[in-house]
A = this chain, B = another copy of it.
Amino acid sequence: MASIGSAAATTTPLQTTQADVLSEIRNDVVLSSSLWANIALAGVSILLFVYMGRRVSAPRARFIWGATLLIPLISLASYLGLLSGLTVGVVELPPGHALAGEEVLSQWGRYLTWTLSTPMILLALGLLADVDVGSLFTVIAADIAMCVTGLAAALVTSSYLFRWAFYAISSAFFLVVLYALLAEWPAAAADAGAGEIFGTLRSLTVVLWLGYPLVWAVGVEGLALVESVGLTSWGYSVLDIFAKYVFAFLLLRWVAANESTVAARTARSGTDPTATDD
């Protein structure tokens, strides 16, 4: 296996090029603006959401508020990771790819933080719809698997076919999530008196989340119809702005205005200890 040892010297390892990646990003205005825009908006969102939640007092409403506040916080951390070069690596694309043999920046940190941020979005939706714990757990597991296999699709450099195989599997996990959002949870949400806001947020989530695999497919990681790392990054960044900050804003505004509806559900839920006092 001597060949493996020598081959390694010519490959650029992920994670060892932090400073170089940092200067690459700084020199690419389109790319760095796509990251800074989200850092600024995440910061504004956090301040706004803390302000909006100052008068929310019912326990269940506060939980939803807490889960929602985590969304821009995680996003802020994610974009800092990308900007600092910590969670960006260099991959050499495999034969068959439109950019075969070229080294491109891979923002693998996006997938990593999606494994943490998208479950919070589903948790907020699930709490809103007051769904069964088992259902919530299953959907979140499928969501995490979707993100992890998306990460794999981005990092596989040995074969073009395997990149798309991971893309297909990630999409299959996405179907499980979509099925729950479209066919299972609406009934629970209606039952919990949150049918309208759930419908709005669900539509927002479904439409925007369909955008991510689309950006992947047309961007540098997929078919490379868009060959610019900066424009691909802007694609994800715009989707993040709506799927995270706008989503969270709409949810919090509803929770603040409908505290009594949210609190009333608490009285029916068997998992809340305060509800069992009689």
Contact = CB atoms under 8 A, between A and B. Distances in A.
A16 B24 contact: no
Q: Is the interface of A mostly helix, strand, loop or mixed?
A: helix
A253 interface: no
A130 interface: yes
Interface string A164-175: 011001001100
A155 B77 contact: no
Give the size range of A's interface with the partner. 35 or more
A218 to B, nearest CB: 22
A167 to B, nearest CB: 11
Contact of A169 (B18, B77, B271): B77
Interface string A132-149: 111101110110110011
A273 B60 CA distance: 15
Contacts of A59: 132, 135, 184
A135 B119 CA distance: 14
A131 interface: yes
Contact of A273 (B1, B169, B269): B269
6 contacts: A5-B103, A73-B145, A73-B169, A80-B166, A87-B152, A134-B271
